[in-house]
Structure 1
Amino acid sequence: MKIVALNGSPRGTASTTLRLLEAAMEGAEEAGAVVQYFDVARHDIAYCTGCGTCYASGSCILEDDYADILAAMEGADGFLVASPVYINAITAQLKTLIDRMADVVHCQKFRGKYAAFLASGGGGGTDCVLGYLGEAWQVFGADVVGGAAAVMAEGEDRFAAAMDESRALGEHLVEAVATRAAYPEQEAFHEGMRERMTALVSAHRDEWPSEYAYLRSLGWIRE
């Protein structure tokens, strides 16, 4: 079992978010997973230009580190994604990566995968981060297992508890993957996305041949 861990903090080893993510990674590894870690801010990831090349060809025209990270994610069974709170949102570095993933949305490439999220904040806002990341990965097709967060203003005892929760979250993610955990409400959402994306890609079949072929290979389009 492979888990991809994404750290959205730009603060390197000084990052509180990284400490939470490391605890979750340890929990996942102790439960039997192999974890591949990406420090997103240390990678060369350019802004999406909205050119639509990925829709047509299945690959991005920009030559940077994105392709390697995407390949790792496509080959993973689950995800641990972490970000500090930056003005009630995730970091720009992590958002830049997510914005490159429109083809993942159209093709629902994370169907059957699972995700869990971590957030840290000085005085609050972690719900905004966990909520956004959960919505993003659901739109990609993944099932959301849960999240853990620490607000530093709440003190050292609360942070210690958040570390324990993060470790348990990593273990829970591996369990969800291993048991193919079912989430009926999320499955209803995924079915709605499948219908929407199938209709969208079908309507643009001549412009987006790669996506059209991909959805046909899944049996979602039978023309």
Structure 2
Amino acid sequence: MKIIGISSSPRGKNSSTLKLLDAALAGAARAGAEVEKIDVAKLNLKYCTACNSCHETGVCSIKDDYQPVIEKLLAADGIILSSPNYITNVTAQLKTLFDRCPRVIHEQLFDGKYGFSLTTAGSGEIDFVLDIMNNFMAHCGGNFTGGVGCSMAEGPSAMAAAIEKSQGMGKDLVEAIKEKRQYPEQEAAHEAWRGQFKYVILANKEHWPHNCDYWTEKGWI
């Protein structure tokens, strides 16, 4: 079992959010998973240009560090996303990665994967940022098990509690993967989305042949 943790803070080793990610990965490792951390803030990730190459051919036309990252995510069983709160959003580095994943969304390539999200904030704006990351996981076809956030204004004890909870979430992620845990509401949302988006796929079948072929192979259209 392989779990990938995504770090996206430009503060690197000084990141408070990184402490939560390290704790989560440690919990997953103790539960028996192979873990790997990827710091997207250190990578060369260019902006999506909306060229549609990924929909047409299945391959992104931009030559940078995206392809190795997405290949690792697609090979993983679990994904932990982390970002500090930057103006009530994820960091630009993580958003750039998200924006490069339209094929992953169109083809629901996280189907069968599990994940959760981590964040820290100077204030109490935690849930909104966690929702952005968990919604990305869901939009890509995966299921999320929850999230952990910490308001730094609450002091060291809050951070210690968040680290402990992150460890537990890492362990629980391994269990969710092992037992193929069911999330009926999320599964219903996936099915409803496919039921609606198939018409978009069909309307663009001349322009998005790779997407259309994939949907046909999956039996979704």
State TM-score, norm by structure 2: 0.97
Give the gaps of 5 or more residues in structure 2.
none
What SS does the corresponding residue of 1:37 show, helix, strand or coil? Answer: strand
1:148 paired residue number: 148
In the alignment, structure 1 residue 174 sits paired with structure 2 residue 169: no
In the alignment, structure 1 residue 98 sits paired with structure 2 residue 113: no
Cα-to-partner distance string for 1:53-77 (whole Å, 9 max, x where unaligned): 1110101110000011111111111
Contact 1:48 1:96 in 2 (8 A): yes
In the alignment, structure 1 residue 139 sits paired with structure 2 residue 139: yes
2:115 paired residue number: 115
1:190 paired residue number: 190
Which amino acid letter does the alignment assign opposite residue 185 of structure 2?
A: E
- Give the whole-Å Cα distance in 1 for the aligned partners of 2:150 and 2:32: 26
Q: How many residues are paired up?
A: 221
Tell me how far 1:181 sits from its aligned partner.
Answer: 0.5
Cα-to-partner distance string for 1:144-191 (whole Å, 9 max, x where unaligned): 101011111101111111100000010111111110000111111000
Which amino acid letter does the alignment assign opposite residue 77 of structure 2?
A: D
What SS does the corresponding residue of 2:149 show, helix, strand or coil? Answer: strand
Paired-residue identity, %: 43
Contact 1:107 1:197 in 2 (8 A): no
How do 1:1-223 residues align onto structure 2 when only pairs under 5 Å count?
Answer: 1-221=1-221
Tell me how far 1:198 sits from its aligned partner.
Answer: 2.3
Tell me how far 1:51 sits from its aligned partner.
Answer: 1.2
- Give the whole-Å Cα distance in 2 for the aligned partners of 1:5 and 1:197: 29
Which amino acid letter does the alignment assign opposite residue 203 of structure 2?
A: A
> Which ranges of 4 or more aligned residues in structure 1 deviate by more than 2 Å?
196-199
- Give the whole-Å Cα distance in 1 for the aligned partners of 2:4 and 2:212: 27
Contact 1:28 1:174 in 2 (8 A): yes
Give the gaps of 5 or more residues in structure 1.
none
- Give the whole-Å Cα distance in 1 for the aligned partners of 2:5 and 2:93: 15
